[in-house]
Amino acid sequence: MPLVNFTTREITCKLVYYGPGRCGKTTNLLYIHGRVPEQRRGNLVSLATQSDRTLFFDFLPLELGMISGFATRFQLYTVPGQVYYNATRRLVLQGADGVVFVVDSQARRFDDNLESFQNLQENLLDQGVDIRNLPLVLQYNKQDLPPDLILAPAELDDAFNFRGVPSLPSDALHGTGVFETLKSLSALVLQRLAARAPVP
């Protein structure tokens, strides 16, 4: 769960962007990094291969500001999407307070999305986490592509959103839906934190 410092009144949450290779996880972080004022964000740490594919993870720390009197920070991580990097994905997923599952809306990537989503559930289960109990948001990315190439949000909801979690269409490259996705997941994570700590 989020790390809470009562002495200095700070909350730190770990949010992980998960999804198949080239679905747009790093693009989400790049957009956020480009939009947020420098004094409110750290450097975008990117451990990538020479061809710019995420090798280990991307990491972006954000200073959100004061929420309920707590200085709130987000640590945004992406995982490498390629199938063979599962050990790394498991490591990055460890201790996640919430997950954005980024779906590549292209119809031809449907099976890759499904495989990655199942992989997310398996990796969470390995860590003793039931996906039904973890704050989760679905982001249907690349919705800007021609309609004949992509699946509509309703169709993707049918396939992935069996829990009725928030799902948002996006075009991460141009920023559409990026802000809304982060907002949606952070609300879920903080709601969970508020619900977990009863009034003494």
Instruction: Decide whether 35 or 154 has the Cβ nearer to another protein.
Output: 35
d(CA 31, CA 178): 8
The least distance separating another protein from the CB of residue 135, rounded to whole angstroms, comes to 13
Nearest distance, CB of residue 32 and another protein, angstroms:
8
Interaction site with another protein (CB under 8 A): 3-8, 10-12, 14, 35-37, 40-43, 45, 47, 56-57, 59, 61-68, 70, 72-73, 75, 77, 87-88, 90-92, 94-96, 179, 182-183, 186-187, 190-191, 193-194, 196-200
**In the complex, minimum distance from the CB of residue 129 to another protein, in angstroms, rounded to a whole number:** 12
Least spacing, CB of residue 173 vs another protein, in Å: 16
Shortest Cβ 80–another protein spacing (Å) = 12
Query: Pairing relation of β-strands 98-104 and 70-78?
Result: unpaired
**CB closer to another protein, 31 vs 117:** 31
Q: Which is nearer to another protein, 96 or 150 (CB)?
A: 96
Q: For residue 91, how far is the Cα from the chain centroid?
A: 15
Please identify, using beta-carbon distances, which residue of 59 and 106 lies nearer to another protein.
59
DSSP state letter for 2: -
Instruction: List b or e across 3-35, with b for residues whose CB sees 16 or more CB atoms inside 10 angstroms.
Output: eeeeeeeebbbbbbbbbbbbbbbbbbbbbbbee
Exposure on the CB side of residue 141, measured as CA atoms within 13 A:
28
What is the total residue count of the chain?
Answer: 200
